[in-house]
Structure 1
Amino acid sequence: MIDRYWIAFFAAFSCVVGVFDASAGDADPLYRVCVAQCEKTGCVGDRCFPHCKFPSDGASLNRPWYMQEPLYLQWKQWDCQSDCRYDCMVDREKDRAALGHGPVKYHGKWPFKRVYGIQEPVSVALSALNLAMHFHGWLSFFILLYYKLPLKQDKKPYYDYTGLWHIYGLLSMNSWFWSAVFHSRDVDVTEKLDYSSAVALLGYSLILAILRSFTVRDEAARVMVAAPLIAFVTTHILYLNNFKLDYGWNMKVCVVMAVAQLLIWAIWAGVSRHPSRWKLWVVVVGGALAMFLEIYDFPPYEGFVDAHALWHASTIPLTYIWWSFIKDDAELRTSNLFKKVK
């Protein structure tokens, strides 16, 4: 869970510093001329894009509806504007390299090399690995509870946070799935799904941190804690998707929730003297060190691996350790509750 605190924090931070449509690359007059000519002619040098007969917004000028670009093509291949921007960017970067200049950002993003149409292949692969790690952690947690630890007479686990962690596992996998999709294709809908999933996971993680650290077991008390936070997170997601995708406001919301739950877990680890508290500290410190990968934002090496991709890589072992702590906590509480029953 802790790894997702940093993910949400830096995803929000990246929103602010990385998505504004004004960077050194797209301010280059030669780049602008190249894109403008490509959108008119459909060609960059000797490379032409047949689908440029369709405008980038998906509506065909002076053409009937059945001549518009099919939806499956809109997803499978990049639209005219995106292809023009990409090829013009590639040409300008070659010219800059020949003059001894380093890469610059275009429309808020570093110049990545596409692989089979995937925009950031390394980040996609690492997001998928994070998803796999959460699936492995959740599955091993499930097997531990239902097949290795003692169960109640009604075949339910003694661990009183089982359902909460199941939901957390599903939300984590959902968040990493949309992260992979967003890095493969950065469009409006994938951006909103990625940010919404991250915010939903972050808000739920805050609820879970409060419930576990304060040992809230009564259902009515859990509802009282969760209801206002669920209402706030839901309202925030609706605001981002239906009113305005305000990156600055989203950053503030994510930072507050991330810092709050990080402090809760850190303090609880020291106060409770949990036998596996060292795993909590490893994840907290590891997440703090991974922060520098986002602060030190450097161009992608060979057009593939940038600081953000390395940060994704750093969360993989942290995820393994975090799920290991969750399983240790389940074993400890199950043992204590089972002894009380006996």
Structure 2
Amino acid sequence: MNFDLVKLRYSINFRDCVGQCEKTGCVGERCFLHCKFSSDSSSLDGPWYMQEPLYLQWKQWDCQSDCRYHCMLDREKERAELGHGPFKYHGKWPFRRLYGFQEPVSVGLSALNLAMHFHGWLSFFILLYYKLPLKPDKRPCYDYTGLWHIYGFLSMNSWFWSAVFHSRDVDLTEKLDYSSAVALLGYSLLLAIVRSFSVRNEAARVMVAAPLVAFTTTHILYLNNYKMDYGWNMKVCVVMGVTQLLVWAMWAGVTRHPSRWKLWSVVVGGGLAMLLEIYDFPPYEGLVDAHALWHATTIPLTYVWWSFIKDDVEYRTSSLLKKVK
């Protein structure tokens, strides 16, 4: 049988299953208590003030989510019996829930990335304000301080929403995750240009930032208000990510920075890790897919990256103090 016809048949069967479940509240012999219907098939959930608080609702799945999940399990069981591989549902591979989390491995790894960025930013802050000399006005001598503070905030924000999105995939968490990731990539490209080309003049920084900020903002608005185009978003993110790595690689090739080997490690490691985002494969045992492995690779890279940033702080501060003397 033609592969496209098989794919279409399973897609239709899945939609029919979900539609029937949303009417009856059952998939086969499994019925869901929170799918409540009256005799005329209207929902009995009641007004908002009679429903459970959000922090309690978060621990449960709504009717539609349970219908989609169990219909997916049934379709995947049928496919496995016929020797077919996993199939994407609503653009995502089938994952097994664990302790209420939709993608438990990605959630845990996102949380670890968040912790690594927080540790890196905190140690960067302590180094700047408590271990190195300050200017007479108590400001750090390092001339890229504010830029790295913003980077730290955007990084932690991005990984926070990544953990939330992978724990519960709904429209709001999806938009927040994608928007945060795009904002971080756009800003990281800006930071790569500013630091690599030693752009210290405020007017020059504005000229560099204006087109990048405009493009990144427009892309985020497009995803949120016009169309969540996954293919286009992947192309935009890959282009920004690759360009950023190329800028850092060119600088690493010409600079005499004492920690350039750390920069090379991040550039090469980040390039290899990006292949996991491009080369997609189904989750092993319904838990670990290419995206989860990418999350795993970024943990050690984050440690090395913040180590390079702190080395850059010491290197630049030392150079500036020598010039003053």
State the TM-score, normalizing by the size of structure 1.
Answer: 0.84
CA offset digits 1:124-150 (Å, max 9, x no partner): 000000011111111111111111111
Report if aligned partners of 1:24, 1:105 keep a CA contact under 8 Å in 2: no
| CA distance in structure 1 between the partners assigned to 2:203 and 2:242 by the alignment | 26
Change (3 A) 1:227 1:66: closer
**Alignment RMSD:** 2.6
SS class of match (2:164): helix
User: Match of 2:113, as an amino acid?
Assistant: N
- The answer for the alignment partner of 2:60 in structure 1 is 77
Residue 29 of structure 1, CA deviation:
5.0
Q: 1:169 aligns with which of 152, 160, 171?
A: 152
- The answer for the alignment partner of 1:18 in structure 2 is none
Residue 26 of structure 1, CA deviation:
7.8
| CA distance in structure 1 between the partners assigned to 2:37 and 2:123 by the alignment | 49
Q: 2:100 aligns with which of 83, 93, 117?
A: 117
Q: 1:184 aligns with which of 142, 145, 167?
A: 167
SS class of match (1:27): helix
Change (3 A) 1:145 1:256: same
Q: How many residues align structurally? A: 317
CA offset digits 1:287-310 (Å, max 9, x no partner): 222233334433222221112111
SS class of match (2:284): coil
1:216 aligns with 2:209: no
CA offset digits 1:100-131 (Å, max 9, x no partner): 54433222222211112211000000000001
Residue 222 of structure 1, CA deviation:
1.7
- The answer for the alignment partner of 2:184 in structure 1 is 201
* Residue range with higher mean Cα deviation, 312-321 or 277-286: 277-286
Q: 1:271 aligns with which of 239, 254, 262?
A: 254
CA offset digits 1:213-253 (Å, max 9, x no partner): 11111222222222232223222222221222233433343
Change (3 A) 1:93 1:263: same
- The answer for the alignment partner of 2:117 in structure 1 is 134
Change (3 A) 1:310 1:324: same
- The answer for the alignment partner of 2:276 in structure 1 is 293
User: Match of 1:124, as an amino acid?
Assistant: V
* Residue range with higher mean Cα deviation, 158-167 or 243-252: 243-252
CA offset digits 1:64-116 (Å, max 9, x no partner): 74598657265442221221111122233334444554433222222211112
SS class of match (2:21): helix
Tell which has more relative contact order, 1 or 2 (C-alpha 8 A, sep 6+).
Answer: 1
Q: Which runs of 5+ in 1 are unaligned?
A: 1-21
Q: 2:35 aligns with which of 36, 52, 71?
A: 52
Identity of aligned residues (%): 80
* Residue range with higher mean Cα deviation, 331-340 or 95-104: 95-104
| CA distance in structure 1 between the partners assigned to 2:189 and 2:132 by the alignment | 27
SS class of match (2:10): coil
- The answer for the alignment partner of 1:15 in structure 2 is none
Change (3 A) 1:294 1:203: closer
Change (3 A) 1:297 1:66: closer
| CA distance in structure 2 between the partners assigned to 1:297 and 1:221 by the alignment | 40
CA offset digits 1:18-51 (Å, max 9, x no partner): xxxx994983554444323322211123321122
| CA distance in structure 2 between the partners assigned to 1:54 and 1:132 by the alignment | 44
- The answer for the alignment partner of 2:74 in structure 1 is 91
Report if aligned partners of 1:54, 1:69 keep a CA contact under 8 Å in 2: no
| CA distance in structure 1 between the partners assigned to 2:6 and 2:136 by the alignment | 63
Q: Which runs of 5+ in 2 are unaligned?
A: none
Change (3 A) 1:118 1:64: closer
SS class of match (1:51): coil
* Residue range with higher mean Cα deviation, 46-55 or 261-270: 46-55
- The answer for the alignment partner of 1:246 in structure 2 is 229
